[in-house]
Structure 1
């Protein structure tokens, strides 16, 4: 890619991010994994227009991350492919699993 093309891609992504974070999501329907109780810590997602997704922690509902359709698709495919599987090592040793 040329430098000009790189700048165009960056500008488009910046514009998409700005539009995504400008959306009013105060009345979206948050969903969590089946079988989780309201009092349990869990990840919640909400579907937004254009295939975008918002994600938050039930313990910190004021902090919301937003992903474009392409970003969300890449994340889901990566998770299914094991890209985010944690390996045993210094970061995970001694961490109690619940």
Structure 2
């Protein structure tokens, strides 16, 4: 169960990062509210997962999911550049996250 919560928390990290960008420095109420709610949910899920998962592994997986998710949203929906080196680097992050799960 802890791993499922950790993955969901990582996805919420992606949501709060995108909402933070869209909040324009907290000048837009709806993205600012989405940021706050998803941030709290993400942190609460991480805290729950860390009861059963070692902190180094859990935090790295959480950050990896959030970073890859945010980069993918940026490339697929927000017009950020998509090129082979960027995709290769994201795949390396994914490989690291999978490795941490397998060898936890």
Q: Which is richer in strand?
A: 1
Structure showing greater relative contact order (alpha-carbon pairs closer than 8 Å, 6 or more residues apart): 2
* Higher radius of gyration, 1 or 2: 1
Q: Which is richer in helix?
A: 2
TM-score, normalization by structure 2: 0.28
TM-score, normalization by structure 1: 0.30
